[in-house]
Structure 1
Amino acid sequence: MTSTLKSFTAQLQHVASQPNNARLAAYDTLISDLLQQPSSKLSRHELLEATSAYLRHAVFSEQNSTGGGLVIGRQALTALEHHAGRVAEGYASQQRDKDRMQDVEDENMPPIADSDTRRQMLENALEQLQPRVLSFEEQASSLRMQLASLLEAEEDWNEAARVLLAIPLDSGHRNVSDHFKLSIYVRIVRLLLEGDDPVAADMYLKRASMIIHNVPGALPSQYQLQQEQQGAGSSNAGEGRGAGEDAQVGSASAGPSSTRHRLEDPKVLGLQYRLSQARVYDSQRRFAEAAIRYHELSYVAEIDEDDRARMLSAAVTASILSPAGPQRARTLATLMRDDRTPSLPQYTILSKVFLDRVIRPDEIASFEKLLSPHQIAKLAPSSGPVSVSSSTTAVADGGPHKAVRHAPSTVLDRAMIEHNVLSASRLYDNITLAGLGALVDLSPEGAEDIARKMIMQGRLKGWIDQVGSPASGEARGGGVLFFVDQDRRGEGETTAGGLEATKGEGGGDGSGASGGAAGEGGVNSGGDVETKWTRRWDQQIAQVTGWLEDVCLRINKASATGVAV
């Protein structure tokens, strides 16, 4: 044991014999003087040994950890946490003022100013505190918050989040305000997102959403109303404490060594919450909701202009990747009316998507360079049935065979295929599934699956006529996709088989195009809407009747052959 450590231990033992009212000030002076010792007089190892001795004699001794002496033990631990942070931050501030390099050796630097030393000291304190954590719950939270800040500065995101997760926020041993809970939850969410763990981030975001309404000023009134409607019926039991109170760690303490957590402004917490919510939606591929959240934040004046530009760019990207349909159309219209979007690199593809134009492969490749990794992630293989006979498709008559895809492979690929299907509905009155597959670079079966899903989800108005005689054994995907007149999108309804495809009297001249892609199966259109759809239905009935007659002829022929034998 070195002389410094022996002297420090002797002083601790001497203080233990003093009365309660004198011990607290003596402990505070001892630990403050120790932590300010320069590295030329106190090594890193000696500091760690001295702080361990301080914890044994000043905090966890029988005299200071039980009964009335527990207040002294808590204050002694608070003093260690407070002075460790104060000395380290003070030295760092001096170095910034002197504009020195961080890696320059300085004999006057206190060992506690070294981040590795301070981290080791905090971890040792938490380890020794663990068996008595219920008695020192508030002080343990303070130590964890300082350790998390240290880890965050080192960009060890997941470890910092793990440290904060151990802070008890629903303990019955102390009163924790909703403001403090919200600050911890939001900080955890942000750290987990930086650590690329959106699943865990979503879990703690939901916890934050249950208490954010109890913190005045955290959400704007209109946004708060929307959140309350979405969260109707969620349980908020046990949240009866006053909202917006400052969380005080060490509420039983008093004196110069007491510490109070400085909570961020509720409005800042609300902005961090909303940004985290948008990022979670984005990572979960809920692009429609993410686009709305990003666009709302891009108007907040309190956010830096460069950050608002990035949020607007993220809103445009998310809206393009969102599922094609009416909701995306509304979001795209809002973004197109924004005067700031023409300056974005995505504006060209945004305008084409808004106008329902077909997106070409070279344009998709240019847009892909602007995306984040999760936005071009691989999709799970499709589990839908695919005919073996359709696994290859001829490139030209008598030409070589080339494998074709049956489903989109990435998130971007799916978004662009769905958009091009919707674009085809603007161009054609009807199109064969083979022609649609050629347009979106999928097999007929894959094109049928995409169109069917969009129709079922209400994102595409139309119906599928699966052309082909069952008796002839034709593969799936040999049908025709009929579109409801796009000039009246949303005014009509469609049912299975094409019956009651429109309701009421529709406008339009009914002269939609019926061709233009490989293998389109056009249907002559003319007259009013009812006549047009009646004619289509009659043609379908005639086709099915022809198939039935063909089947009957085959059966009769087979029966006659059997009798002759």
Structure 2
Amino acid sequence: MESKLAQFSILNQKDKGPAFISLIPEILAKPNAAASADLNTLVKTVVNQESVGLVVGRQVLTELVKILGDGTVKDTELRKCLVEDTLATIQPRIVSYEEQVNSLRFQLADLLEGEEEWSDAARVLMGISFDSGQRAIGDADKLRVYVRIVRLLLEDEDSVQAETYYNRAALLVHSTNDRETLLQFKLCQARISDYGRKFLEAASRYHELSYVGEIDEEERRHMLVAAVTCAVLAPAGPNRSRVLASLYRDERTVDLPTYNILSKMFLDHILRPSEIKEFEKTLKPHQLAKIAISSNDRLASASHENSPPNVNEPAASTRTGPSTVLDRAVMEHNLLASSKIYNNITFRGLGALLDLTPGAAETMARKMIEQGRLRGFIDQVDKLIWFEGNQEDDAQGKAGGLGDVEEAEDTGAPFTKRWDTQIRLTAAHVESIVQQLNKKGLVPLVASTA
């Protein structure tokens, strides 16, 4: 091999390129170890020898990249080894061969992704140079690479680094109309929100994607499941109620394994420990992350430990706060659900309901009231939490924006039936107003023509 390379090196400049290229199929036909060694020698010769020249070097490497990419080398491990060795040889002179290096990186990333080496594939793509002097790379191509990097990093749950590249992609998303790229970006957006514990945003985006016809049906089902999971984990309050209402009214959720907990949360039923454990089995590791309790909350949670217990109340728990994201979501939901049942409740009674110390239960209720997620007030003298009764959920709204008109009796019907009741009530009010105006002669009746 060395003798042939030496002979080709002294040829005329226009003959060197075809001569070196003719060696590539011959080398790749050899056994694995010999092919790898000889190809490495060829690449070193065309890249490092001044007599070969930059033009010939680019010509040979471009043909080599093409042959490696068209499936000539059937052995995946050999192909991976050849690509890695070629990249290592070219690396010191990457400025002169940026286009060829980028193509090799794409090939290596494909191979690593096929082996489910997600982080390694992402790191290979991170090394791609977008400011190549040989060929300008457009914003749409940059966006596709960034979205792919985000997707690969999220497969290994590296959400911190994934968010960095997601932010870069967000600056370029306007540069393309390619439907596939935009859908992949939206999915990355939903997953970034999910990993960042922005569960309301994630639920809305997953639910939106679950309607997209271009996505495979099984994938749409996974997105619908993810939307329900994120909605359950979201902070209790009016905003979550809107998302839960949207999912509850989606007829596809009836067949989901998480429908039971979705319906109970939407209907403001208190969740039992057995139901929570069943739901917990469906969660991903990042959704079971531990949460820390601040020192102020820990002090407030312990403030009622020395208060004398009431004989009519259950024994107080020793927990000073939720330990996981799911814990917090369930406790806040049960607190909100209890506000639909009770007019008021003692700190100790609420603590028994939530499995918290009385002080921790008061702290959770105080935070929810401060944030507008719970209607009520706290009487610290009598150690009572008062809930504001007969209030409609913000998710339901008022028919026609009329506000608090005279309401029909609340029979506990689903929100759709309450909405219909309000529409009938509004129509009755309009008819009553017209009749009053007619009696005073302000609106003349128009005779109907048969």
- Classify the TM-score, shorter chain: 0.7 to 0.9
- In structure 2, C-alpha distance between the alignment counterparts of 1:391 and 1:445, rounded to whole Å: 7
After superposition, the Cα gap between the structure-2 partners of 1:335 and 1:403, relative to the gap in structure 1 and judged at 3 Å, is closer
Is the Cα contact below 8 Å between 1:393 and 1:404 reproduced in 2?
no
Q: How many residues align?
A: 401
After superposition, the Cα gap between the structure-2 partners of 1:305 and 1:46, relative to the gap in structure 1 and judged at 3 Å, is same
Cα deviation code 1:253-273 (max 9, x no counterpart)? xxxxxxxxxxxxx21111111
The reply on whether 1:302 has 2:214 as its aligned counterpart is: yes
In the alignment, structure 1 segments of 5+ residues that lack a partner are: 1-7, 91-111, 218-265, 469-478, 492-503, 512-565
- In structure 1, C-alpha distance between the alignment counterparts of 2:313 and 2:363, rounded to whole Å: 27
Q: Which residue of 1 aligns with 2:46?
A: 58
How much does 1:16 deviate? 2.4
How much does 1:395 deviate? 9.7
SS at match of 1:155: coil
SS at match of 1:349: helix
Amino acid at match of 1:460: L
- In structure 1, C-alpha distance between the alignment counterparts of 2:217 and 2:301, rounded to whole Å: 54
Matches within 5 A, 1:119-268: 119-170=80-131, 174-215=135-176, 217=177, 266-268=178-180
Q: Which residue of 2 aligns with 1:288?
A: 200
Is the Cα contact below 8 Å between 1:313 and 1:344 reproduced in 2?
yes
- In structure 2, C-alpha distance between the alignment counterparts of 1:116 and 1:127, rounded to whole Å: 16
1:347 to 246, 253, 259: 259
- In structure 2, C-alpha distance between the alignment counterparts of 1:59 and 1:510, rounded to whole Å: 85
Is the Cα contact below 8 Å between 1:322 and 1:415 reproduced in 2?
yes
Q: Which residue of 2 aligns with 1:485?
A: 389
After superposition, the Cα gap between the structure-2 partners of 1:428 and 1:140, relative to the gap in structure 1 and judged at 3 Å, is same
How much does 1:206 deviate? 1.1
- In structure 2, C-alpha distance between the alignment counterparts of 1:389 and 1:331, rounded to whole Å: 36
2:25 to 29, 32, 47: 32
After superposition, the Cα gap between the structure-2 partners of 1:406 and 1:313, relative to the gap in structure 1 and judged at 3 Å, is same
Amino acid at match of 1:376: L
- In structure 1, C-alpha distance between the alignment counterparts of 2:366 and 2:134, rounded to whole Å: 57
Amino acid at match of 1:290: A
Q: Which residue of 2 aligns with 1:114?
A: 75
Is the Cα contact below 8 Å between 1:487 and 1:508 reproduced in 2?
no
After superposition, the Cα gap between the structure-2 partners of 1:490 and 1:47, relative to the gap in structure 1 and judged at 3 Å, is closer
SS at match of 2:377: strand
Amino acid at match of 1:134: V
How much does 1:145 deviate? 1.1
Cα deviation code 1:378-400 (max 9, x no counterpart)? 22244321465755999996999
Cα deviation code 1:515-565 (max 9, x no counterpart)? xxxxxxxxxxxxxxxxxxxxxxxxxxxxxxxxxxxxxxxxxxxxxxxxxxx
Q: Which residue of 2 aligns with 1:45?
A: 33
After superposition, the Cα gap between the structure-2 partners of 1:326 and 1:423, relative to the gap in structure 1 and judged at 3 Å, is same
How much does 1:335 deviate? 1.0
Is the Cα contact below 8 Å between 1:394 and 1:402 reproduced in 2?
no
- In structure 1, C-alpha distance between the alignment counterparts of 2:63 and 2:20, rounded to whole Å: 8
After superposition, the Cα gap between the structure-2 partners of 1:28 and 1:396, relative to the gap in structure 1 and judged at 3 Å, is farther
Is the Cα contact below 8 Å between 2:350 and 2:361 reproduced in 1?
yes
How much does 1:375 deviate? 1.6
After superposition, the Cα gap between the structure-2 partners of 1:446 and 1:82, relative to the gap in structure 1 and judged at 3 Å, is same
Q: Which residue of 1 aligns with 2:16?
A: 23
After superposition, the Cα gap between the structure-2 partners of 1:354 and 1:510, relative to the gap in structure 1 and judged at 3 Å, is closer
Cα deviation code 1:403-434 (max 9, x no counterpart)? 52110111111101111111112112222222
After superposition, the Cα gap between the structure-2 partners of 1:353 and 1:388, relative to the gap in structure 1 and judged at 3 Å, is closer
SS at match of 1:280: helix
Amino acid at match of 2:22: T
The reply on whether 1:411 has 2:411 as its aligned counterpart is: no
Is the Cα contact below 8 Å between 1:394 and 1:400 reproduced in 2?
no
SS at match of 2:51: helix
Cα deviation code 1:91-111 (max 9, x no counterpart)? xxxxxxxxxxxxxxxxxxxxx
Higher mean C-alpha displacement, 455-464 vs 337-346: 455-464
Q: Alignment RMSD, CA only? A: 2.8
Cα deviation code 1:284-316 (max 9, x no counterpart)? 211111111111111111111111111111111
- In structure 2, C-alpha distance between the alignment counterparts of 1:34 and 1:190, rounded to whole Å: 36
Amino acid at match of 1:205: Y
The reply on whether 1:440 has 2:354 as its aligned counterpart is: yes
- In structure 1, C-alpha distance between the alignment counterparts of 2:69 and 2:134, rounded to whole Å: 26
- More helix by proportion, 1 or 2? 2
SS at match of 1:464: strand
- In structure 2, C-alpha distance between the alignment counterparts of 1:283 and 1:206, rounded to whole Å: 15
1:79 to 59, 63, 88: 63
After superposition, the Cα gap between the structure-2 partners of 1:446 and 1:212, relative to the gap in structure 1 and judged at 3 Å, is same
After superposition, the Cα gap between the structure-2 partners of 1:420 and 1:310, relative to the gap in structure 1 and judged at 3 Å, is same
Is the Cα contact below 8 Å between 1:59 and 1:76 reproduced in 2?
no
Cα deviation code 1:150-192 (max 9, x no counterpart)? 1111111111111111112245665211121011111111111
SS at match of 1:79: helix
After superposition, the Cα gap between the structure-2 partners of 1:160 and 1:391, relative to the gap in structure 1 and judged at 3 Å, is farther
Q: Which residue of 1 aligns with 2:223?
A: 311
Is the Cα contact below 8 Å between 1:190 and 1:276 reproduced in 2?
yes
After superposition, the Cα gap between the structure-2 partners of 1:325 and 1:346, relative to the gap in structure 1 and judged at 3 Å, is same
Q: Which residue of 1 aligns with 2:435?
A: none
SS at match of 2:42: helix
- In structure 1, C-alpha distance between the alignment counterparts of 2:26 and 2:308, rounded to whole Å: 84
2:374 to 447, 460, 465: 460
2:285 to 373, 377, 380: 373
Is the Cα contact below 8 Å between 1:31 and 1:80 reproduced in 2?
yes
- In structure 1, C-alpha distance between the alignment counterparts of 2:307 and 2:323, rounded to whole Å: 18
Matches within 5 A, 1:474-513: 479-488=383-392
Cα deviation code 1:477-510 (max 9, x no counterpart)? xx2222233424559xxxxxxxxxxxx9886799
- In structure 1, C-alpha distance between the alignment counterparts of 2:200 and 2:314, rounded to whole Å: 42
How much does 1:77 deviate? 1.3
Cα deviation code 1:322-345 (max 9, x no counterpart)? 111111111111111211111111
